[in-house]
């Protein structure tokens, strides 16, 4: 479903055909990449231009996946690979090209009104509805929340909270700020982490957090609808 998507890692070869031909171990060959985004974010100081460049590609990849009815369900910086283009004269990053990888938990041909159950994903990226006992959740909305956390981690090299469970005091404050005080996600995050104030960042970035980090899944942005 994603063979022609520019923001998805390409697999060279056909694993199904290899199995039919009796190959004992299927090996996946991929283009050479520089590493994953966690390593990039933690390993060097990135300019706002580079972070914005990465964010735009991540957004494009979400459109490509969701409009083709593919949900990733394990979105995180670790699962995005990048190729770095370095300015040979200065040694600085000139550009970064990224691609989503690791579709082990993903699902394809998923109607938008589908409901899943259980917990999928990793740590701080897991949306709050997955932690609610016996609750079914929408996979597209879950992806969108994880995407919002991923963008936050891209820009601030940290997470707003380590888990979106009620046992986490930071998440509880974030949830109550939205539910009782009617704060937007960005205002709620500002109250939690004044040192990472979003009041001065570009409106386009604030919009990402406001539209992706809604506690109520029905209020989150839909990448399958270009608006």
Choosing from 36, 74, 187, 210, the catalytic residue is 74
State how far the Cα of 120 lies from the Cα of 130, in Å rounded to an integer.
8
Q: Name the helix (H) or strand (E) containing 47.
A: none
Question: Which of 1, 174, 149 minimizes the C-alpha distance to 80?
Answer: 149
State how far the Cα of 73 lies from the Cα of 109, in Å rounded to an integer.
14
Taking 3-state DSSP, the helix, strand and coil percentages for the chain, each rounded to the nearest 5, stand at: 40, 10, 45
- 74 is an active site residue: yes
State how far the Cα of 93 lies from the Cα of 102, in Å rounded to an integer.
25
**Cα 96 to Cα 4, 34, 80, 147, 183, distances in angstroms:** 20, 10, 12, 19, 34
Helices (H), strands (E): how many in the chain? Answer: 7, 5
Q: Which residues are catalytic?
A: 74
């Amino acid at each position: 479903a994603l063979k022609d998507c520019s923001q998805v890692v390409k697999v060279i070869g056909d694993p199904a055909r290899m199995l039919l031909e009796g190959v004992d171990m299927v090996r996946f060959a991929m283009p050479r990449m520089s590493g994953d985004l966690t390593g990039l974010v933690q390993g060097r100081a990135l300019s706002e231009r580079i972070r914005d460049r990465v964010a735009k590609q991540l957004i494009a990849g979400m459109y490509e996946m969701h409009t083709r009815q593919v949900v990733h369900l394990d979105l995180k910086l670790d699962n995005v690979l990048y190729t770095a283009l370095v300015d040979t004269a200065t040694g600085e990053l000139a550009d970064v090209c990224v691609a989503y990888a690791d579709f082990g938990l993903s699902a394809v041909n998923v109607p938008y009104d589908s409901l899943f159950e259980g917990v999928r994903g990793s740590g701080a990226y897991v949306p709050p509805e997955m932690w609610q006992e016996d609750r079914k959740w929408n996979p597209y909305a879950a992806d969108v929340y994880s995407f919002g956390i991923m963008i936050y981690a891209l820009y601030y090299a940290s997470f707003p909270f380590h888990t979106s469970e009620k046992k986490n005091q930071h998440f509880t404050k974030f949830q109550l700020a939205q539910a009782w005080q009617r704060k937007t996600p960005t205002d709620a995050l500002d109250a939690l982490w004044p040192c990472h104030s979003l009041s001065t960042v570009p409106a386009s970035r604030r919009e990402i957090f406001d539209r992706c980090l809604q506690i109520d899944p029905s209020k989150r942005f839909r990448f399958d609808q270009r608006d």
